[in-house]
Amino acid sequence: MTVQLTRMDPAGADRHALVAFLTTEEFPFHVRRTISVEDAQRAIDDGAWRDDDHDSFWLDSDEHGRFGVVRLEDLADPVPLFDLRISGTHRGRGLGVPALRATTDHVFRTMVDAERFEGQTREDNTAMRRTFLGAGWVKEAHYRAGWPVEGGPALASVGYGMLRADWESGTTTPVPWDDDPITGGRGTR
């Protein structure tokens, strides 16, 4: 399945559709499950969807039509991040991996200085964690109690990365987890 990224005009022609998408969907694994119209409009007005540090795209496929959005973040930094949101009616259809691959391809083809691309999800978002692995990304971090949860205790934030060299070669460079020079990765207890 091919996924296309269609660049969005969030403050112009796509404003109404973006606000509708953000405010009529529930995003159970994001910091905020729901977004109010006012908050969505404020974020657009403040440049969170397009400015020097952000850009945004619709996710489209011939088979499923428009099924989500992806926002690139930290574009002024050599290590960009992303926020991927798939509509509830399209979740569970195998769109995550091709969407992440298309996003990764876009970043490395258009951002010549980016040597790596990063993303995070919370520990209980098994669908996104499988998406990262299915798209060839590597787990690089597990931040205990690092993801705030409305109305509950913080969960772990799990970080993944893709290196340009791995993307170009189609390989995966593992993380050396057991390289502690003192304990050999065994801990001290």
Q: What is the pLDDT of residues 125-168, one digit of tens each?
A: 999 999 999 999 999 999 999 999 988 999 999 999 999 999 99
- Say which residue the tokens 């409009």 belong to: 41
pLDDT tens, residue by residue, 73-110: 999 999 999 999 999 999 999 999 999 999 999 999 99
pTM to 2 decimal places: 0.94
Burial level of 124, CB count in 10 A (0-12/13-18/19+)?
A: middle
Q: Which of 149, 150, 131, 132 is nearest to 141 (CA)?
A: 132
